[in-house]
Amino acid sequence: MVAHVVPSVHTTADPTYQTALRQYDRAVAYLDIPDGLAEFMKWPRRELTVNFPVRLDDGQIQIFTGFRVHHNTVLGPSKGGVRYSTHVNLDEIRALAMWMTWKCALVNLPYGGAKGGVIVDPKAHSMSELANLTRRFTSEIILLIGPNIDIPAPDMGTNAQTMAWMMDTYSMTMGYSVPAVVTGKPLNIGGSMGREEATGRGVIVCMLEALRQYGFNRSPKDISVVVQGFGNVGMNAAKRAYELGFKVVAVSDVSGGYYNPRGLNIRELVDYVNRHPKKQLDGFRGPDRVTNAELLELPCDVLIPAALEGQLTAENAPRVRAKLIVEGANGPTLPEADDIFIERGIPVIPDILANAGGVTVSYFEWVQGLQEFFWDEDEVYRRLERILVRAYDEVVHTMEANNVDMRTAAQITAINRVAQATLTRGFYP
């Protein structure tokens, strides 16, 4: 096997990238593939760092840094979100791009994996500043994106409006409208029905499968659910669980959380957040307040971490009282915590399966956009459920065949799909 000249990628200090690499090493060991191929799939294919100026409302110019990483493009054009957060760094984006490769492969979408981000606190900027920033960032990474190259979508800190600005900037540069360059767009410019809710809804589809698999035979009203994060994923997961009659006992966001062991009224909380100037839970009256750290350790049947990476650690995993964990966020569980949950017999439905609903409906949006033929909500949800349940069953099959935990099984399934496609295509030249 050939040695690398740039060793830094695999010797990262970033805990998120360390997590992604350790998960990969753990899973790839089960595959009978050439060492060189295993090494190839570990590396990001291409990476772009951009530093760019943005004019603020007061006339000042501020410089921002952003990234776009294509991890692997063997199965098709790359796909992955754009994140706006002060925590963004290149290694985090590399990890998220790698997870996108496995996620798309796991649910059998014809995509590779990518991710992008800008180091910015979106809540500290006006709409016009965010529009300027998004347009300039799009222009800076335009050589890497396109409907057949790499298709961005929303992630933390970005939303449908961000995608509208990206799509418009790309279209203005091309000279004609290219809706399929991004997904997660508003409906009136080619978005898909159900995309906004898709990730949260998919989390609940996987939760239902897991409840069945692990023999929770009680009625939903007797099954308690805790959700960390009340943004796109967390809010929609809580909403869907509540609609289905589950007892959502705690929710939280960056401003802290609320807990009521008898169940929260999620509809009221959603209305409150939608009216809040910062779209936060802060200031809601009624239930007991809990911190995010306390929320993760509340007694409950299902814990859905749907905010950030690295929330479940070696430190708090022994105190987690949930009986089942369904990962809405990407990378919320560190490998040491995974080991503790395996030992304690707490199943973890892994991110690349549990939150794959978002990219699946993004794929539907892309297909609808390319065909200029749009589906109704029922059709979207029916197809979404079919894809997720099939992927869930495949993961269970791999889990049983290899006697491994569910994360490792999901990664084995996904990595093998990319490996086999790579072998079929061969190494160029």
Which residues sit at the interface with ligand NAD, rule CB under 6 A? 154-157, 199, 228-234, 252-254, 292, 306-308, 328-330, 355, 358
Give residues with Cβ within 8 angstroms of 54, minimum separation 6.
61, 62, 63, 64, 129, 132, 133, 136
Which residues partner with 303 through β-bridges? 226, 325
Gap between the Cα atoms of 97 and 115, Å rounded: 5
Nearest distance in Å: CB 399, ligand NAD: 22
Q: How many CB atoms lie within 10 A of CB 45?
A: 17
C-beta nearest to ligand NAD: residue? 231
Nearer to ligand NAD, 17 or 230 (CB): 230
Alpha-carbon dihedral of residues 200, 201, 202, 205, nearest 10 degrees? 130
Nearer to ligand NAD, 232 or 408 (CB): 232
Nearest distance in Å: CB 299, ligand NAD: 19
What is the side-by-side strand order in the sheet with 224-228? 288-290, 256-259, 247-253, 224-228, 302-305, 324-326, 348-349
Nearest distance in Å: CB 36, ligand NAD: 31
Catalytic residue flag (residue 123): no
Nearest distance in Å: CB 317, ligand NAD: 17
Three-state DSSP class for 191?
coil
Catalytic residue among 79, 115, 247, 323: 115
Report residue 264 CA to chain centroid gap: 25
- Asked if residue 429 has a cis previous peptide bond (ω within 30° of 0), the answer is yes
Nearer to ligand NAD, 115 or 419 (CB): 115
Nearest distance in Å: CB 130, ligand NAD: 13
Nearer to ligand NAD, 330 or 408 (CB): 330
Q: Which helix (H) or strand (E) holds 64?
A: strand 61-72
Nearer to ligand NAD, 211 or 361 (CB): 361
What is the side-by-side strand order in the sheet with 78-85? 46-55, 61-72, 112-119, 78-85, 150-154
Catalytic residues: 115
